[in-house]
Amino acid sequence: MPLNELARSIPIPPEKDSMLGRLMALLVNQGIFVQSEAGYQLTPASELLQTEGSNMGANVRLVTDAEVLKIWGRLSEVLKESGERSLFEKVFDGKKLWEFAKEKPEYGKLFDEAMANQSNSVMRGLIASYPHIFDGLNNLVDVGGGTGTAVKFIAEAFPRLRCTVFDLPHVIAKVLKSESFDVAGGDMFEMIPPADAIFLKNVLHDWNDEDCVRILKRCKEAIESNNNGGKVIVVDIIIGFESNDPKATETSLLFDIAMMGLFGSKERNKQEWHDIIIRAGYSDYKICPVQLGVYSVIELYP
pTM over 0.85: yes
Are β-strands 39-42 and 33-36 bridged in parallel, bridged antiparallel, or unpaired? antiparallel
Query: 132, 170, 205, 274: which one is catalytic?
Result: 205
Question: In angstroms, what CA-CA distances link 198 with 10, 124, 229, 286?
Answer: 45, 19, 12, 15
| Residues 6+ away with beta carbon under 8 Å from 24 | 3, 6, 33, 35, 40
Cα within 13 Å of Cα(292), Cβ side: 26
For the chain, 302 residues long, give each residue's pLDDT as a single digit of tens: 999 999 999 889 999 999 999 999 999 999 999 999 989 999 988 887 876 655 677 888 888 889 889 999 989 988 888 888 889 999 998 999 989 988 998 988 888 888 888 888 899 999 999 999 999 999 999 999 998 999 999 999 999 999 999 999 988 888 877 888 999 999 999 999 999 999 999 999 999 999 999 999 999 999 988 777 799 999 999 998 766 678 888 889 999 999 999 999 999 999 999 999 999 999 999 999 887 888 999 999 99
- Rounded distance between C-alpha atoms, residue 232 and residue 230, angstroms: 7
Is residue 207 within 8 Å of residue 215, measured between CB atoms? yes
Is residue 205 annotated as a catalytic residue, yes or no? Answer: yes
282, 300 Cβ separation under 8 angstroms: yes
Helix (H, G, I), strand (E, B), or coil: what is residue 8?
helix
Distance CA 182, CA 164 (A): 4
Q: What angle do CA 117, 255, 48 make, to 5 degrees?
A: 35
CA distance 31 to 271: 36
